[in-house]
Structure formats: structure tokens, C-alpha cells
Amino acid sequence: MENLLVATYLICFAAITGGAFALMAQTLRRPENMKPVSPGGPLPRRHPEAPSYGEEVLYVDLNRERLEALFKQAS
């Protein structure tokens, strides 16, 4: 019974270690397969929800002075 438990532990340990190594190897190999985009080449695909060029975007200004003013206003 004890041998079965040790064998199960070693099999699971080997599977997890092998999976982790495979993910690490794939992550390290991936940048080599990426082709650089040439300046005159095609543009990369844009996200469907990305704003068009020149379109104004709503944003929140979170610089230090603005946050301090909001904190003082709230208290």
C-alpha cells in the first residue's frame, strides 16, 4: 500500500514537472517565431473596440495633484 502511494506521488510529480517544463520551453521559444513588422509592411490587426485614429477617448486623470484635490474634497 505504501509503495502504491509513493508511485502515485512520483507519477504526479513527474507529470506536473514535465508540464511546467513544456510551458517554460514554449514561452522561451515563442519570441523567435515572431516576425518583426517592417515599417512599410502591413499594419497589425487592430482590436475591434479600439478607437479610430483621431477619435477622442474618455479617460481619467489620476496624477498626484488631482488625487489630492479629490481626497480633500471628499473629506
Structural domain boundaries of the chain? 1-28
Residue 60's pLDDT is what?
83
The dihedral region occupied by 48, where left means phi > 0, alpha psi between -120 and 50, and beta the remainder, is: alpha
pLDDT in tens, 28-65: 876 656 666 566 666 677 888 888 888 898 888 888 99
Q: Are 20 and 13 in contact (CB under 8 A)?
A: no
pTM over the 0.75 mark: no
Fill in the amino acid letter for 28.
Answer: L
Residues contacting residue 37 through CB under 8 Å, at least 6 positions apart: 43, 44
